[in-house]
Amino acid sequence: MEVIPAIDLRDGKCVRLYQGDYAQETVYSDEPERMAAQWVEQGATRLHVVDLDGARSGHPTNIAATRAIVEAVDVPVQLGGGIRTPDDARIALALGVQRVMVGTAAIEQPAVIEALCAEFGPESVVVSVDARGGMVAVRGWVETSGVEALKLAQDMAGYGVRRIMYTDVSRDGTLTEPNFEMVRTLVRESGLSVLAAGGIATVEHLVKLAGIGAEGAIVGKALYTGDIDLKRALRDVSATSP
């Protein structure tokens, strides 16, 4: 299982939100590219970048900061936040990111997902299944749809998607624990590879996610607070992964 550090961008800075609330923000760095380089130096093999401004505005916004991150590291970068059209995806991929993460469009315009998979290949497209109370949240998590997380994942398989990222919004940034039950359900019943996020607070959480069968885990706040040491996490997960 991959342990993937998260870098959330707002106004060009590296920040973390609490439960996706833009009013509860902590700034960790004015130079996200240095934070990216730090995680790679500690062994990260992939980085997860979220354009928080883009998620709210509906189009990629933190272009300069994303480009700086891609240029600062030699590992693959995946980018989410505001990618809702093929043109948005082209902009993101032109920056050098390997994968684009698409959330809102999967609910509002699922045909876009099919078009993205056809144009860029399914390995370049990840659908973000962000859920609050089991229902998918959209538009920067400020709205909740009437679609269940598992139903969205199963539907996406029919559009050519191979990989989803599941986030329990209510646990994101809380340092409680992941929604293991839902991750397990998605791994078993969606037919897709699953990246897990939200609430990861300890190395033991990561080891358990690996045991459940998650392909990767996105770790944000716990890395920035020091609750998780990346080098130890990579070592322990590697020792337990098949």
Average pLDDT, the chain: 90
Separation between Cα atoms, residue 171 and residue 174, nearest integer Å? 5
Separation between Cα atoms, residue 50 and residue 66, nearest integer Å? 9
Is pLDDT larger for residue 186 or for residue 241? 186
pLDDT in tens, 36-57: 999 999 999 999 999 989 888 8
Residue 23 has pLDDT above 60, yes or no: no
Packing angle between helix 203-212 and helix 230-240, nearest 10 degrees? 30
Residue 17 has pLDDT above 70, yes or no: no
> For the chain, what percent of residues have pLDDT higher than 70?
92
Average pLDDT over residues 112-130: 95
Domain ranges of the chain: 2-240
Neighbours of 146 (CB within 10 A): 7
pLDDT in tens, 63-72: 999 999 999 9
Nearest to 169 by CA among 195, 210, 197: 197
Q: Which residues participate in catalysis according to the annotation?
A: 8, 130
How is residue 13 written in tokens?
């800075």
Identify the three-state secondary structure at position 172: coil
Domain 2-240: give its CATH code.
Answer: 3.20.20.70
Residue 19 has pLDDT above 60, yes or no: no
pLDDT in the model for residue 90: 94
Average pLDDT over residues 120-127: 96
C-alpha separations of 95 from 52, 73, 80, 122, 183 in Å:
17, 13, 13, 19, 31
Identify the three-state secondary structure at position 53: helix
